[in-house]
Structure 1
């Protein structure tokens, strides 16, 4: 199964066992979970969940929702199950390839079934950049050609009418992501994430409502680090679970 580490998120409220090598949960997961408006009774689907960091952090804020973790890697899915048990979350872990409709349906991921979908999709597609030789990292970072649109179409398909999708992605792919999302979602709210106030954005967060026709809104940016190179008070509070981006 390989070596794992046990890490603490949200100031220790979430314990996360994850592989010591390859893709590991970090600030992106914290920001995505902090942008999730979860209500009691919601069906929340964490698509591309890996070991469950995003869904578990969302569950730490709202225990009264039903959480489903979708992960195609069986090793990561088993760690996700362990993390659900360790954190007292009665989450369902679905081992499925989100890009494959048959795979989704086989594990009960039915269309129009989710109130909220959270996703941190692989940032690259084959042919766009050199892919890591590490198998786990490569799988987490790269989709097949055309995979981003297929991924987002599948996420939108899981949503009930008026359900919400929340995603984090690389800032240099914002135009492509918005072009795709506008096929199914409206009321898009966009927030850019900057490493410091004087540097270009490196990430963006976007949420949208299935079937809405509302226009795009640009929210205030998030600045991760102050002039001293350390996290700003807001970023620190987000990592401790004492603030959110709702």
Structure 2
């Protein structure tokens, strides 16, 4: 583990997998369970020979977890916010993964020249959930950009993914379940055919609030609805599947 200097309000968090660490800023956007669930969902299919792209990487959490769980050949991660991208780069250096994970600063709508069309075996993305005209925006600008479609929309993410994926390349996304119709309509319009859908429910009694989606560029229609992922048991404890995804040991 390299000695990487921290900036004001930054801390190092232990990811509790493969001895990986991540730098986060307590005043900026910190990763949540969404990113962890998405990384696990994608890692089930990503191969060691794959070239993977993460659109809107934020703190760089998804590339770190994908490397831990699937160890693809190369992961390129794009982030528009300069301070977030710089922090993610230091997390990569902290873990000695600079030969495997590359962080680039740039716009999803117009990616840097280092990102080539029709190249990637898999794209993962945890995009802003809320339309820019709806919801209460966080006054901290970096948090607002991460949560609201201020700098890119769902359509921007999908159009760029279609352009960058190889034919038959796989697309993985987590999003709010109430936007499912928008998501599926745009995916089919852009020839990223939805193939796997898994709803995430806070408990068995509550309706889904998130959805994991996998699509394949240029695939034929046919979708599999997987069993729901439950986050909490009735007593408030995490379910066994959440413990397994995080690789936590359940207290006896």
Superposed pair shares fold, TM > 0.5: yes
Q: How far does residue 186 in structure 1 lie from its aligned partner after superposition?
A: 1.7
Say how many residue pairs are matched.
238
Shift of 1:21: 2.2
- 2:232 matched residue in structure 1: 225
Residues 39-74 of structure 1, C-alpha deviations (whole Å, 9 max, x = no match): 122110111001210111000123342010100111
Distance in 2, matches of 1:177 and 1:171, equals 9
Instruction: Flag structure 2 segments of 5+ consecutive residues without an equivalent.
Output: 1-6
Q: Does 1:55 align with 2:63?
A: yes
Determine the structure 2 residue equivalent to 1:108.
114
Matched, 1:163 2:169: yes
Gap change, CA 1:74 and 1:107, over 3 Å in 2: farther
Of the candidates 127, 137, 143, which is equivalent to residue 131 of structure 1? Answer: 137
Offset at residue 75 of structure 1 (A): 0.9
For 1:95, the equivalent position in structure 2 comes to 105
Q: TM-score, normalised by structure 2?
A: 0.89
Conservation of the 8 A alpha-carbon contact between 1:10 and 1:238? no
Show the counterpart of 1:65: 73
TM-score, normalized by length of structure 1?
Answer: 0.91
The answer as to whether partners of 1:38 and 1:65 remain within 8 angstroms in 2 is no
SS for the counterpart of 2:208 is coil
Can you list the C-alpha shifts for 1:140-198, whole angstroms capped at 9, x where unaligned?
Answer: 01114982111211122110000000000011111111111112212521000000000
Moved over 3 A (4+): 10-13
The answer on whether the counterparts of 1:71 and 1:77 sit within 8 Å (CA) in structure 2 is yes
Higher relative contact order (CA 8 A, sep 6+): 1
